Amino acid sequence: MTKLDSKIPEGPLAQKWTSYKNKAKLVNPANKKKLDIIVVGTGLAGAGAASSLGELGYNVKNFCYQDSPRRAHSVAAQGGINAAKNYKNDGDSIYRLFYDMIKGGDFRAREANVYRAAEVSNDVIDHFTAMGVPFARDYGGNLDNRSFGGVQVSRTFYAKGQTGQQCLLGTYSSLNRQINKGSVTMFPRREMLDLVLIDGKARGIIVRNLVTGEIERHSAHAVVLASGGYGTVYYLSTLAVNSNASAAWKAHRKGAFFANPSFVQIHPTSIPQLNDYQAKLTLMSESLRNDGRIWTPKEKNDKRHANDIPEEERDYYLERRYPAFGNLVPRDVASRAAKERCDAGYGVGETGLAVNLDFRDAINKQGKKAIEDKYGNLFEMYETITGINPYKEPMRIYPAGHYTMGGLWVDYELMTTIPGLFSIVESNFSDHGANRLGASSLMQASGDGYFIIPYTIGNYLADEIRTPRISTDTLEFDEAENVVKEKIEKLLAIKGTETATSFHKRLGRIMWDYCGMSRNEKGLKKAFDMVKELEKEFWSNLIVPGKGHDLNMELEKAGRVADYFELAELMITDALNRKESCGAHFREESQTPEGEAMRDDKNYMYVAAWESMGKGKLPKLHKEDLVFEEVEVKVRSYK
């Protein structure tokens, strides 16, 4: 049995990363040139890793499914990026950022990893600023900050409502510099379809060229997955519609443990679903909760126009339930509270599945111009999509699938249970426990890519300097390529009547209803059977037009949906196993009389890492106990 060794360095929490770096093995510049590294994904983490490893002198190959690395979905992150600069003099510190994340994650993340993420956050801001990322500034020329959910300080750096775009384009520019120098080779429009292991180590990947349909082999001394999360398992989510879990899932099938798959963040402020044709849900940044007040009518089924409902008939339910944090409670708390109001019949809009996010008071107090400066592009986007002007009436919002805290299990070095296979940010499980706080994903993505992986991968590769360039002409590559080709043939040969998208929608509905914001044993068991049944139908009635050796987007979708069935089963299995409520994982059986989530630290203070035993077989559970040396584990309260 594989033993989970998180490799957390000895010593006091604040010294662990420094002491790790002091002892980590180094690779000399001449040897770096002889070492190949594959990076899958070009988001903030992937492009950051590829460019920093390129700067160091490694020979990097970077892959993305988009036509350009600049389009990875980090581009859509809106509100901001956290750092413990304490520019506001409001009592912030690295420790406080760390503590907020540990508490925000409901004490289900590893102390040492989270502390390190907070520790490198300031370097990230310095680096982005040096690269010309145009963060918002005040009239004195200094960087501005705002506050975000789950915290009481203002530590969020931002560029209007498109911070992710600006950070990603900054990272893309550093990647371009390395491509230009020849240290990074870029492979766009490629999708990773399998991982290749040689003697138990990750040594390459099989990709499909999405333009020619050609199956390609690529080898390296180490592989880094920065392939993102699996929020599109719900079909409708805030992610890009082509975002998928296949790279991480293939790695799981090849032996990488998958940790806490049921921990999925449902974001509280998305534009509600408007119709059945919808392909995605559009996020409205959490930063809006700084100035917007969330409410529903006090009367059930109140169909009056929001502006006609007088102040005393409005229920500002977050301010009522959580006076200390009010509208800035963490995402999981805000999402569940919205669901509770709507389920109880107080929802607004035609479907009743929405709540108001109202800027009336903020506009009266600060003026329209101030609000426009902060959120102008978000207000415009909202009006474009819904036809409603949020300067004049409240936005309508509802929770939507967003970020996946679960992912491949990694140790302190961000290495999975497969030697030489690293996984960073959303594709791993590491820093956010059971719930992620706003503006911490851009922070973790840049930290992992720029400031952490360059050290930890060096520690691994120092032992690989005698390994010559890996040949792709081996039995292992033959076998992996054959498996990929057979699966493509199989998908094309079904020739049924239902499209991959239609199956995806049906799968998403099951997951949203039974493994979404609220879960219970009966529902989860039912969902497991439903997913199995639907998967059977998929393999007998799918239709994929066209051929394999060509640009074929339906074939791409079909492959991703096929993997989602398997992942969905693991998510449900994990949700069933964890009989406590924690963070975003709400088990109805485990709640306080007031309806708040109730943890069970005695039985569940562990990371659930699942080992694949092969398709159709039950996965095996490994537990990594979470030990808190620094913080006192207590009930997470925002009241």
Partner 1 sequence: MKVKLKIWRQENAKAKGSFQTYNFDEVSPEMSFLEMLDAFNTKLITEGKEPVAFDHDCREGICGSCAMYINGHPHGPVSGITTCHLSMRMFKDGETITVEPWRAKAFPVIKDLIIDRTAFDKIQLAGGFISSNVGSAPEAHSMPVIKKNADDAFDAAICIGCGACVAACKNASAMLFVSAKVSQFALLPQGKVEAKERVQKMVAKMDDLGFGNCTNTYACEAECPKEISVTNIARMNREFLCAKVS
Near partner 1 in 367-386, by CB under 8 A: 381, 384-385
Q: Could you say which residues in the range 126-155 bind partner 1, by CB under 8 A?
A: 126-127, 129-132, 134-143
In angstroms, what CA-CA distances link 299 with 314, 315, 324?
Answer: 9, 9, 25
Residue 159 in the binding site for partner 1 (CB under 8 A): yes
Residue 508 in the binding site for partner 1 (CB under 8 A): no
Q: With beta carbons less than 8 A apart as the criterion, state whether 58 and 183 touch.
A: yes
Catalytic residues: 331
Q: Could you say which residues in the range 435-494 bind partner 1, by CB under 8 A?
A: 450-451, 454
Which among 464, 425, 15 has a CA at the least distance from the CA of 227? 425
Among 66, 82, 154, 581, binds partner 1 (CB under 8 A): 66
Residue 61 in the binding site for partner 1 (CB under 8 A): no
Q: With beta carbons less than 8 A apart as the criterion, state whether 435 and 330 touch.
A: yes
Q: Could you say which residues in the range 193-212 bind partner 1, by CB under 8 A?
A: 211
Among 545, 603, 618, 635, binds partner 1 (CB under 8 A): 545
Q: Please give the size of the binding site for partner 1, defined by CB under 8 A.
A: 77
Residue 90 in the binding site for partner 1 (CB under 8 A): no
Nearer to partner 1, 66 or 612 (CB): 66
Phi, psi dihedral angles at 626 (to 5 degrees): -95, 125
Q: Could you say which residues in the range 15-54 bind partner 1, by CB under 8 A?
A: 51-52
Nearer to partner 1, 31 or 386 (CB): 386
| Least Cβ distance, residue 141 to partner 1 (angstroms) | 3
Phi, psi dihedral angles at 233 (to 5 degrees): -60, -25
The interface region with partner 1, picked from 73-81, 471-479, 513-521, 600-608 by CB under 8 A, is 73-81
Nearer to partner 1, 211 or 635 (CB): 211
Helix (H, G, I), strand (E, B) or coil at 111: helix
Q: What is the DSSP string of 530-596?
A: HHHHHHHHHHHHB---S-SSS--HHHHHHHHHHHHHHHHHHHHHHHHH--S-BTTB-BTTSB-TTS-
d(CA 535, CA 297): 42
Nearer to partner 1, 73 or 289 (CB): 73
Half-sphere exposure of 552 (CA within 13 A, CB side): 21
Nearer to partner 1, 154 or 162 (CB): 162
Residue 123 in the binding site for partner 1 (CB under 8 A): yes
Among 283, 461, 511, 571, binds partner 1 (CB under 8 A): 283
Q: With beta carbons less than 8 A apart as the criterion, state whether 265 and 584 touch.
A: yes
Q: Could you say which residues in the range 511-530 bind partner 1, by CB under 8 A?
A: none
Q: Could you say which residues in the range 215-274 bind partner 1, by CB under 8 A?
A: 240-242, 274
d(CA 541, CA 89): 61
Cα angle for residues 202, 205, 210 (degrees, 5° grid)? 165
Among 302, 413, 476, 554, binds partner 1 (CB under 8 A): 554
Helix (H, G, I), strand (E, B) or coil at 198: strand
Phi, psi dihedral angles at 380 (to 5 degrees): -65, -45
Nearer to partner 1, 415 or 544 (CB): 544
